[in-house]
Amino acid sequence: MARVIMTLRVMPEDVDIDLDQLLEDIKAVIPEGTDLRAVEKQPVAFGLQALRMNFARDESMGGTDDIEKAISSVEGVAQVEVEIVSRM
């Protein structure tokens, strides 16, 4: 079975959101079977930073909908955007 690699960009609600705490909260809600591979803080504008996150999982688990929904439910998350989805 092939693996799918996904890159998501998570925008916080405010510049005052602690991105380290937000990351920990996101890790707690990621669906089982989905591996968080890498995270980087990406400057956006006016002091606002986004989290750029790479995930991997089996192709049989489907697309990104459940991941997006789980991350969107975390307090402090304003928006989740899928940047890249590729098959490995």
pLDDT in tens, 29-48: 999 999 999 999 999 999 89
Q: How far is C-alpha 21 from the geometric centre of its chain's CA atoms?
A: 14
H helix or E strand, kind and range, residue 26: helix 19-29
CATH class of 3-87: alpha beta
Q: Tell me the percentage of the chain whose pLDDT exceeds 90.
A: 91
The span from the CA of 83 to the CA of 10, in Å, is 10
The span from the CA of 6 to the CA of 85, in Å, is 4
Q: Model confidence at 88, in pLDDT bands (50, 70, 90)?
A: confident
pTM above 0.75, yes or no: yes
Q: What is the per-residue burial (b if ≥16 Cβ within 10 Å, else e) of 1-35?
A: eeebebbbbbbbeeeebeeeebbebbeeebeeebe
Is pLDDT of 1 > 80? no
Instruction: Share the mean pLDDT of the chain.
Output: 95
pLDDT score recorded for residue 76:
96
**Domain locations in the chain as residue ranges:** 3-87
